[in-house]
Amino acid sequence: MEHDRRGPGLPPARGPVSAAVTAYLRDAGPLPRAEEADRATAYGDDLQLALYLCYELHYRGFAGVAAQREWDPDLLRVRAGLEHRFLSALRADTPVHDSLDEALADLLVEPVRGTGVSHYLRDEGELWQLREYAAQRSLYHLKEADPHAWVLPRLWGRAKAAMAAVEFDEYGGGRPDRVHARLFADLMTDLGLDTAYGRYLDAASAELLATVNLMSLLGLHRELRGALVGHFAAVEITSSPGSRRLAEAMRRTGAGPAAEFFYDEHVEADAVHEQVVRHDVIGGLLADEPHLAADVAFGIDATEYLESRLAARLLAAWRDGRSSLHSPLPGEIAHIS
């Protein structure tokens, strides 16, 4: 088998399921038994890490892992079981709006003061908290727009054209120095973080892994294309005001010009993207496939549900003076309540 030389190393396991998946990827052991996967908590560290490892094979993979593992039928069967656990939990737990119009309208409602991460970081966040936030978010932002690109072959007409236009902006409009993943790497440099892809996988909490896994889950399944569009809408519609607050947080703490620029860029770009996504991506999709309206709403609601779980973890830890991470950043002094 051809083994990848590039890509991050495999992280430490967080339970029997992720341990077995890791061993299998190293050609050092069998996959987890079905009963082990069935016992794993849907939103817990073990299942979410195992699912992330499976999904990452469709992105850049892992150093030392055979490229052929991406389509390994036995591994795909395990992944399907983990996906079923995750998606079933989301369908059971996510508060669902009565209509897509209501779901979209609620995205424009500002969070209650004190419940939003961007509000906290703008008003009282410290530099170490911004570093934790960026380290965790790097698991998505260093591949920003990639999960959403999977929906392009599954759209057509107005929806496809509009989605491609937004993605073109995310990829820098043809300029490598303006690719949003590149801009986030520059932000990380300002914050003294390692910009290597996947570097902070072990630091990321289960709540953060779930937000990234949701994108991959929706992007990899054609039947969930409506939910993926809903997820994309939730990200783009809420991005501009949140990015404005995060840019202010970077300025207040003296994080650096690249850190400020990343969020300033999203304030402007995503304000435009919001209208394109709402009117042309969603509008075009539902003009062709009106039966997907409920799926779009589910994508919005599931995104908001997982983001609220992440926010609760971050804010509870930070207000107690504790780290929000699964494992500390290299060289960091532990924060204890």
CATH class entry, domain 98-319? mainly alpha
CA 113 to CA 120: how far, in whole Å? 9
CA 82 to CA 214: how far, in whole Å? 12
DSSP 282: I
Region 121-126 average pLDDT:
96
Cα four-point dihedral sign 98, 101, 104, 110: negative
Q: Which two tokens stand for residue 330?
A: 């290299």
CA 284 to CA 232: how far, in whole Å? 14
What is the per-residue pLDDT for 337? 38
Q: Percent of the chain having pLDDT more than 90?
A: 86
Cα four-point dihedral sign 121, 124, 127, 128: negative
Burial class (CB in 10 A: 0-12, 13-18, 19+), 223: exposed
Per-residue pLDDT at 332 exceeds 70: no
- Specify the amino acid at residue 256: G
Region 46-50 average pLDDT:
98
First and final C-alpha spacing in the chain: 49
**SS3 assignment, position 66:** strand
- Specify the amino acid at residue 296: V
205 against 239, higher pLDDT? 205
Give the model's confidence band at 336: pLDDT under 50 very low, under 70 low, under 90 confident, else very high: very low
CA 313 to CA 325: how far, in whole Å? 9
The pTM of this model reads 0.94
* List of long-range contacts for 248-253, beta carbons under 8 Å, 24+ apart: 248/122, 249/118, 249/121, 249/122, 249/125, 249/130, 250/130, 250/187, 252/122, 253/125, 253/126, 253/127, 253/130
CA 148 to CA 129: how far, in whole Å? 28
CA atoms within 13 A on the CB side of 231: 26
* All structural domains of the chain with their residue ranges: 16-92, 98-319
CB 47 within 8 A of CB 100: no
Alpha carbon dihedral 267, 144, 128, 238, in 10-degree steps, equals 40
Region 239-250 average pLDDT:
94
Q: Which two tokens stand for residue 165?
A: 């236009």
Per-residue pLDDT at 68 exceeds 90: yes
List the beta bridge partners of residue 3: 66
Q: Which two tokens stand for residue 201?
A: 């996988």
Per-residue pLDDT at 1 exceeds 70: no
Region 295-323 average pLDDT:
97
Residue 55 CB: number of other CB atoms within 10 A?
21
Region 268-282 average pLDDT:
84
CB 288 within 8 A of CB 156: yes
Burial class (CB in 10 A: 0-12, 13-18, 19+), 5: exposed
What is the per-residue pLDDT for 6? 72
